Amino acid sequence: MNRILAILTLDMERIPNNFPEIIEHEKEVVAKWKAEGILENLFLRQGNGAILIFKGLNESEVISYMQTLPLYQLQKNIEYHTLTKQF
């Protein structure tokens, strides 16, 4: 089964005062995705974003999901890559 890698980079110059609240909501959303089985991994990047690995979805579906993230409004860039898992 292929995976879709999403690399989220935040625009750190636009972080609002309610950032801790946004992070809490973000945690709820990704926990739901994990429970649904569509999010395989989540890695936090040092200070400016995250890497998410989705499974069972195509790239357009992943883009739609990413657009619902609370942090999406603060994104500077998002890269998407299709991966083929070898082991």
Query: Per residue in 38-65, pLDDT tens?
Result: 999 999 999 899 999 999 999 999 999 9
Report the alpha-carbon distance of residue 72 to residue 85 in Å, rounded.
Answer: 27
pLDDT level of residue 20 (50, 70, 90 thresholds): very high
Query: Domains in the chain, ordered, with CATH?
Result: 2-84 (3.30.70.1060)
What pLDDT is stored for residue 1 in this prediction?
76
Both ends of the chain: CA-CA distance in Å? 11
Report the alpha-carbon distance of residue 75 to residue 77 in Å, rounded.
Answer: 6
What pLDDT is stored for residue 78 in this prediction?
98
What pLDDT is stored for residue 47 in this prediction?
83
pTM of the model: 0.92
